[in-house]
Every structure is written in structure tokens, then in C-alpha cells.
Structure 1
Amino acid sequence: MTEKFDPAPEDKHAVDPKQGIRRDKAKDDELQKGLKDSFPASDPVSSTQASEATPD
């Protein structure tokens, strides 16, 4: 009997799903802390770092 075809074999180089979940939770926790610390405010909190300005 032939082997069953697996169209999506496991990628040994892929990121561990548990690690991705932890990373997402850490970003979410930082965002929530920023929101909590800035309340009440008119400007929304950004979850990314601002880039440096380019020289003129």
C-alpha cells in the first residue's frame, strides 16, 4: 500500500507556535499598559517605535 500524501509537511524551520503566542501576548501586554498609563488622553498609543527622521 502506498504512503498517504501529505500536501503540507511540517516545516522544521518554522517558528514554534507557542513562541509566537508568547511574543504576541507580550506586545499586547505592552500596548495595554501604555493605554492604561496614558488615560485620559487625546492621542492614541502606538504599538511600534517611531523611526528616526531623515536628514534634510
Structure 2
Amino acid sequence: MSKKEFNPAPHDKHADDPKHAVQADKEQRKLEKGLEDTFPASDPVSETQPKPSKD
């Protein structure tokens, strides 16, 4: 009898791509940080920065 390596959790084909999940976590942290920095405020938080004005 040959000894096989035990793998208790085989790859889940329905799971999120780990790289995509890491990027989503970073974006979520940015939004949360922005919310903390602007609280209390009436304007919603945006994950993108506005373009600099030409003035």
C-alpha cells in the first residue's frame, strides 16, 4: 500500500480567486479608512480620488 499525502481541503472550484480576494480586501480597507476619516459627514465615501483641477 503506497502512502499518499493527506489533503483535507481539496481546491474549491467555486471559491474566489485568492488574488482577487486580496485586492477586494485592500479596496474595502481603503473605503473603511475613508469613512473613518470623514465621520461625521453627509457625503458618501468614494474609492477613487477626484482628478486635480487645472486651476
| TM-score (structure 1 length as normaliser) | 0.56
How big is the shift at 1:27? 0.2
How big is the shift at 1:49? 2.3
How many residue pairs match? The answer is 38
User: Corresponding residue for 1:23?
Assistant: 23
How big is the shift at 1:52? 4.9
Which stretches of structure 1, 4 residues or longer, exceed 4 Å deviation after superposition? none
CA-based RMSD of the aligned residues comes to 1.5
Instruction: State the percentage of identical aligned residues.
Output: 39
- Any gaps of 5 or more consecutive residues in structure 1? 1-16
- Any gaps of 5 or more consecutive residues in structure 2? 1-16
